[in-house]
Structure 1
Amino acid sequence: MASITQFNPSSPKRDLIIMVVFAVAVLTAPIWLAPVGASYPDLLQRFAIFGIFALGFNILFGLTGYLSFGHAAFLGVGSYAAVWIFKLLTMNVVLAIIFGVLVAAIFAVVVGFICLRRSGIYFAILTLAFAQMFYNLAYSVLTPITNGETALTLALDDPRAIDAMFGVDHGAGLPAPSLFGLELTGFTAFYFCAVVLIIAFWVSLKIFRSPFGLKLLAIKSNQNRMLYTGFNPKPYLLVAFVISGMYAGLAGSLMVITDPLAGAERMQWTASGEVVLMTILGGAGTLIGPLLGAGIIKYFENIFSALHHAQLAESFGFLPNALVEPVVSVVSLFVGEGWHLTLGILFMLVVIFLPGGLMEGIRRLSAYVRAKRAGDGEETVAGGATQPSE
């Protein structure tokens, strides 16, 4: 069991350094991701949005140990709420985000209140059942609200009452989401999502360092022992569940900036499973791990999946002609349409050898380097020591 000092080995100065380094890394992502072909705005936005989704899921799963297979429901709810704001009131993303987060919070309160009556696998199955119920309702019964399988999209005749009241002219075509008149497209949209990600990370950091976060860790460590002391963990679990759902709603709201539509597929169980993979792959219960997992999975999904036979043949053109085709045939099993196989192998290796995720691997490597340097330093001191004169 992790000790409190191990879990919270921080200070205001250390946290400030973490925030500065994180903010610089996020804001300069178009530069340092360019060599690996991941510097275009749409993919950068996905990194930021799914990073927020994973951060929120980590507050629930990483701190409390409660595994939810239904968090995509809140992602979809946030998207639907944001699009309705775009249709009825304004294209300003601020109001859409606020409404998406609030609606997701309301749904999270209801779902969490019911599901948290159980724990373990029963909790996971309950959340999955709710998510699938919302998914099917969005496809059928709630078609007037969700537009069914066609997805909820913008239309030229949408009222957009607030924009009309202030005389905002969107032109002849469909309007784009904006921030107080600044159109959010391309890198402008990415930097907006990046700033929201930085704020979301700061909130997550504060939760991790707070007494509330330590209570969640205690619940994860030994809930029965806490019950014996008269401590009721349910309110804390519900708050964690709601905060996690709000993060998902925030991510769903931001998704409509990239693509102003909301479809039921965002609520499907596969989307919930994806955020579970992100968190476990990077390292559940760590600050950076879920972001790392989200980035890797989205990179595989968008870059590896795009590699085709001709590109591989060009990449391996330095080989003798007799070897190019066999090598390309083997490699193509792991990229393009086979990118899931590569991800599956990576996930399997992490689970077997790094149960704490990739962050555990980074910690082991750092500890090894420190030990190596310490050993080299001791040898240098011992070797350079002068003997007393006889």
Structure 2
Amino acid sequence: MLVISRKDLLLFLGFAIVVLAMPIWLQPFGAAYPDLLNRFTIFAIFAVGFNILFGLTGYLSFGHAAFFGIGSYAAVWSFKLLSMDAVPAMIFAIVISGLFALAIGFVSLRRSGIYFSILTLAFAQMSYNLAYSVLTPITNGETGLQLTLADPRYLDRAFSAAPAGLPSPTLFGAPLTGYAGFYFCAGFLIIAFFIAQRITGSPFGMMLKGIKSNQTRMNYTGFNTKPYTLAAFVISGMYAGLAGALLAITDPLAGAERMQWTASGEVVLMTILGGAGTLVGPVIGAWLIKYFENIFSAINDGILMRFFAFLPDGADHVAVTIASKFVGEGWFLTLGLVFVLIVVFLPGGIMEGVRRIAALFNRSPKKPRHTPAQVQPAE
């Protein structure tokens, strides 16, 4: 498990360098501020975990936002009851999310295909409604679970006096704000990627790929596939719980909206857009969608007027009128068009396009066949 090939090592090191250098190479795209960088890393973890279930095993879940929301609630409750340190919050979130995934997966995996997807969607919607209205003493309903001055925080107050205002999450006393919070989340993204990489290349990962290829044939050969699918479901749920906890660490708030079916659909889009079954694809898909959501949605007519100022009078207004339909509140239209183009021309996602381009450069010119010289008969 610990032996890593040269190719996998280079991929991991390249991925780690790209992630750690995000504040630099995202600067020209206007996406280098900490809040957006945090979301890039957090939702990339969410997508990498979802890919273990969908991309490797072939089980499409429409309810993974439930574990994402549970992770957020668990982390905030850890802040309220125990300590503002991020480590107990993450451990608590991963364990609780894993237990919920075990229970939901045990029931949902009794079916496969569309029936499995519908079951996970039903559980997610039940979780959303429980958090929104039924379990309000625990979730604080539509207002969301927030920190208050009256929170006991037993571990913190056992060693220090209560602060004057609301505290913020820390890591062994160091505040996790600004770029410190980003590098904290980036470290966990790199770890999550490494674990997913090792799972993909392990015998367990080979078994998951076999289940995706033909689960019925594997059952006929005597393999019991249920423990493997349940393990993949739990691991994927724990990834989602970790992502939810990190979101609560960077923004100490947990709301029921994080458990809606739209949030589950978003991680499906991320995985398909980047390339299901690949390691880097879901990460690229998460970054692309979050970039559209936060950058394209912020573009208004004033920005467009400055951008098209080089056009003649009248033409600039026409260009702004057309472009405004694809940005601002219309950013979903741009994302939809991108998704349609990817699905139609690159069914394997963005990573299929990358493989095609790499194949063009790696294609070596055909060498002329060597024809042996004819031997002249002796005179």
TM-score relative to the length of structure 2: 0.95
- For 2:44, the aligned partner's letter is G
Q: Cα offset for 1:11? A: 5.2
Work out which of the residue numbers 22, 46, 54 in structure 2 matches 1:53.
46
Contact 2:83 2:155 in 1 (8 A): yes
What whole-Å deviation, never above 9, does each CA across 1:235-271 have from its counterpart, x for those lacking one? 0000000000000000000001221010000000000
Q: Give the corresponding residue for 2:167.
A: 175
Q: 1: CA distance between counterparts of 2:164 and 2:70?
A: 29
Q: Cα offset for 1:170? A: 5.6
What RMSD in Å do the two structures reach over aligned CA positions? Answer: 1.6
Q: Cα offset for 1:352? A: 1.1
- List aligned pairs for 1:68-147, cutoff 5 A: 68-147=61-140
Q: Give the corresponding residue for 2:21.
A: 28
Report % sequence identity.
65
Q: Are 2:294 and 1:302 equivalent residues in the alignment?
A: yes
Q: 2: CA distance between counterparts of 1:94 and 1:348?
A: 41
Work out which of the residue numbers 171, 185, 191 in structure 2 matches 1:199.
191
Q: Are 2:286 and 1:269 equivalent residues in the alignment?
A: no
Q: Cα offset for 1:12? A: 2.0
Which SS does the other structure have where 1:140 is aligned?
helix
Q: Are 2:209 and 1:217 equivalent residues in the alignment?
A: yes
Q: Are 2:239 and 1:240 equivalent residues in the alignment?
A: no
Q: Cα offset for 1:141? A: 1.2
Q: 1: CA distance between counterparts of 2:45 and 2:4?
A: 24
Work out which of the residue numbers 210, 219, 243 in structure 2 matches 1:227.
219
Q: 1: CA distance between counterparts of 2:250 and 2:81?
A: 19
- For 2:156, the aligned partner's letter is D
Q: 2: CA distance between counterparts of 1:186 and 1:257?
A: 12
Which SS does the other structure have where 1:321 is aligned?
coil
The runs of at least 4 aligned residues of structure 1 exceeding 6 Å deviation read none
Q: Cα offset for 1:71? A: 0.1
- 5+ residue gaps, structure 2, are 374-379
Change (3 A) 1:171 1:358: same
Q: 1: CA distance between counterparts of 2:147 and 2:367?
A: 68
Q: Give the corresponding residue for 1:315.
A: 307
What whole-Å deviation, never above 9, does each CA across 1:65-100 have from its counterpart, x for those lacking one? 100000000000000000000000100000000000
Q: 2: CA distance between counterparts of 1:132 and 1:225?
A: 33
Q: Give the corresponding residue for 1:325.
A: 317
Contact 2:75 2:249 in 1 (8 A): no
Contact 2:62 2:121 in 1 (8 A): yes
Work out which of the residue numbers 56, 59, 64 in structure 1 matches 2:57.
64
Q: Give the corresponding residue for 1:369.
A: 361
Q: Cα offset for 1:316? A: 0.6
Contact 2:42 2:185 in 1 (8 A): yes
- For 1:311, the aligned partner's letter is I
- For 2:317, the aligned partner's letter is E
TM-score relative to the length of structure 1: 0.93
Contact 2:81 2:152 in 1 (8 A): yes
What whole-Å deviation, never above 9, does each CA across 1:93-131 have from its counterpart, x for those lacking one? 000000000000000000000000000000000000000
Q: Cα offset for 1:378? A: 4.4
What whole-Å deviation, never above 9, does each CA across 1:256-303 have from its counterpart, x for those lacking one? 122101000000000000000000000000000000000000000000
